[in-house]
Amino acid sequence: MMKKLLLTLLFFSALFKADAQFGQLLGWQLSNPAPTQPAGPSNTFYKALGMESSTLDRGAGFLSATLARSFSSTSASYSAGNNPTVRNANEYYQFTARAEAGHTMSLSGIGTKLRRTGGGPNTYRWAYSINDGTFIDIGTDISFGDTNSAGVLQPIISLTSIPELQNLSSSTKVTFRLYGWGFSSSTGTFAFGQYAATDLTPFLALYGEVSGSANLLGWDMNVAVGGAATTGGEATVVATNVNSNLNASTLVRNGFGNGSLPRGLSAIGTIGSTKVNGEYFEFDVTPNVADKYVTLSTIDARLRRTTGGATTHIWSYSKNSGAFVDIGTPITLLPSDEGYTQASIDLSTIADLKNMPSTTIVKFRLHAWGFTTAAGTFAIGRYAADQNLYSLELRGQITDQPLPVKLTSFTAKANKQGTVNLVWATASEQNNSHFDITRSANGEKFEKIGEVKGNNNSDVVRNYSYTDANPIIGANYYRLTQVDHDGKSSFSNIAIAKVGLDSDNLTVAIAADRSSIEVTYHTATNGKALFAIYSVTGAKLTTVEKTVSAGNNQIRIPVRLSNSIHIVKVSQAGASVSAKF
């Protein structure tokens, strides 16, 4: 249903310079806020829409070391070692990557800034693992001898040639490890970072793309002027990447003064704490092919402000020369020497920007305000001189037909009544007949258990629900099959609910002569159940296996009881519940 445009990465072998573009998926920085040193496990500072958060951590063979605004370690063994040796000693840095439910991810590169002291490792290599399997090396060993106290920006590690790292659903977790070896002293260190206190550039970044969108327009400020970087004096910059179904687009600085930032497009604005309507950056989205449909998903931008620059910004859009509409609420921007990638601006929930016919022209504006000095600047950009990455990127899809159902969430939750509530939502629907609700006991073979009617065509959020009144005891795997009126279908992500037993499922009545008990047992499924009776000391008195049906079951169990407390335990399909009587 949805076609993915995969990124292709090429490298100039002599310059180690990336000649293609990456969208940032995850990023870590410790410049602001700076953690207490030595830094413990670090959560992502940035994650793209559709990605789960991640944590950067150490293997047991790396000992945390103190280094301001950095993630630093020493080696527990500090032997010269080699790759197999450090693997066995668990000397590595590690993070995971996983798409959120309903999304897929394709991974294209890893970018780092690394730092070592004289006694630190002189060689490193990355490796990856799928769903906690065996770790597989990426590329070859990389020599690392520079001891620059600020660290050294490394060549981007290409992942595009690894099929296992493309088109991964939310059921797939990728774990990355960075192994470093060649320590020569116990005080030698190996670190991510460091950047200046005012530089929020990620010292570790994962690049790629999340499903549901491709790069439609992109501005790489390092090659934006005849293959060279912007000098800072430009008032306009033409997009360096343009989808073939769109006209070229020009990013324009309007109303702002010139901020003169190389490798970026910068501005000086009016001093004051209120928005100035005439000061903004602007670009347009204009299709050039008839009978197409445009759906926009995100705006991703790397923004920069100096100390006296704009503190606040907001995006807005206009369709076919209409009034501009704000997207979300104003966003506060931290000061940073080089700027940093902002959280994605989510366009996928804006019905106005879905399934637009090719006659539609959309304009986007970025307003910024809160300048406090005449020299304070606000900018789009910038990346390091040898990094060819988009400072501004519009993502979405252009299709021959309106896009079908866009499922935004799907969850399953068990409740005390022994049923499972399924809830899902769509942001838009085209030609949607219905949803088949399917269930599996092992996540592989699914059977239909119900059906919910769709809303045909819709450009607003629609909420759905279904209750599974007879789930399986244990793990229940649920999947939606969305069916169009023409019979075409697609699957949702898999949602899991575990149905157990609790004391509410079990009550006991004792015969007057204490020669038997009657157990009332409620279950959500048919099958065999084992009833065991124990004394208060744990001695088993009797066991009985019975066939039970979904609902309440009355089970009489002959047993000779003493005048003390006893326990009944019922086990069914791997779950159990107990009650005292």
Residues 519-562 pLDDT 10s: 888 876 778 888 899 887 778 889 998 888 877 888 889 988 88
* pLDDT tens per residue across span 452-472: 999 887 767 789 999 998 888
% of the chain surpassing 90 pLDDT: 46
User: Residue 468 carries which DSSP code?
Assistant: E
Residues 171/103, Cβ–Cβ less than 8 Å: no
How far is 2 from 408, CA to CA, in rounded Å? 15
The helices-and-strands tally (H runs, E runs) of the chain is: 1, 47
Q: What is the mean pLDDT of residues 27-46?
A: 90
Q: Is the pLDDT of residue 4 over 60?
A: no
Classify residue 515 by burial, with Cβ atoms within 10 Å: 0-12, 13-18, 19+. exposed
Q: What is the mean pLDDT of residues 119-143?
A: 93
Q: For residue 336, list its beta bridge partners.
A: none
- The confidence score (pLDDT) of residue 321 equals 94
- C-alpha torsion angle, residues 77, 79, 84, 90 (rounded to 10): 20
How is 376-400 classified by DSSP, letter by letter? --EEE----TT----SEEEEEEEES
Q: What is the mean pLDDT of residues 380-387?
A: 85
Residues 358/290, Cβ–Cβ less than 8 Å: yes
- The confidence score (pLDDT) of residue 527 equals 81
Query: What's the gap between Cα 26 and its chain centre?
Result: 8
List CB contacts of 228: < 8 A, sequence separation 6 or more.
Answer: none
- The confidence score (pLDDT) of residue 2 equals 31
Residues 31/196, Cβ–Cβ less than 8 Å: yes
State the pLDDT confidence band at 12, using cuts at 50, 70 and 90.
very low
What CA–CA distances, in Å, run from 299 to 112, 221, 442? 24, 16, 39
Looking up tokens 């005891």, which residue turns up?
Answer: 473
> What pairing do the DSSP bridges indicate for beta strands 62-65 and 92-97?
unpaired
- The confidence score (pLDDT) of residue 212 equals 61
Max avg pLDDT among 44-48, 100-104, 245-249, 287-291: 245-249
% of the chain surpassing 70 pLDDT: 92
Residues 202/79, Cβ–Cβ less than 8 Å: no
Lowest mean pLDDT among 179-188, 251-260, 318-327, 415-424: 415-424
Sign of CA dihedral 505, 510, 515, 518: negative
* pLDDT tens per residue across span 296-339: 988 999 999 999 999 999 999 999 999 999 999 999 998 888 88
How far is 264 from 13, CA to CA, in rounded Å? 26
Query: What's the gap between Cα 418 and its chain centre?
Result: 32
Query: What's the gap between Cα 81 and its chain centre?
Result: 35
Q: What is the mean pLDDT of residues 168-173?
A: 88
Amino acid letter, residue 34: A
Stated as kind and residue range, the H or E segment containing 87 is: helix 83-88
* pLDDT tens per residue across span 244-268: 999 999 999 999 999 888 999 999 9
- The confidence score (pLDDT) of residue 15 equals 28
In angstroms, how far apart are the furthest CA atoms of the chain?
A: 98
How far is 397 from 297, CA to CA, in rounded Å? 8
What CA–CA distances, in Å, run from 290 to 246, 283, 287, 318? 11, 21, 8, 21
- The confidence score (pLDDT) of residue 16 equals 30
List CB contacts of 227: < 8 A, sequence separation 6 or more.
Answer: none
Q: Minimal CA–CA distance to 347: which of 296, 301, 283? A: 296
- The confidence score (pLDDT) of residue 19 equals 36
* pLDDT tens per residue across span 198-218: 888 899 999 998 876 788 999
Q: Is the pLDDT of residue 102 over 70?
A: no
How is 167-217 classified by DSSP, letter by letter? SEETT--EEEEEEEE---STT-EEEE----TT----SEEEEEEETT-EEEE
Whether residue 305 has a cis bond before it, omega within 30° of 0: no
CB neighbours (10 Å) of residue 54? 23
* pLDDT tens per residue across span 467-523: 998 888 777 889 898 888 878 777 787 788 877 665 557 788 887 777 888 888 887
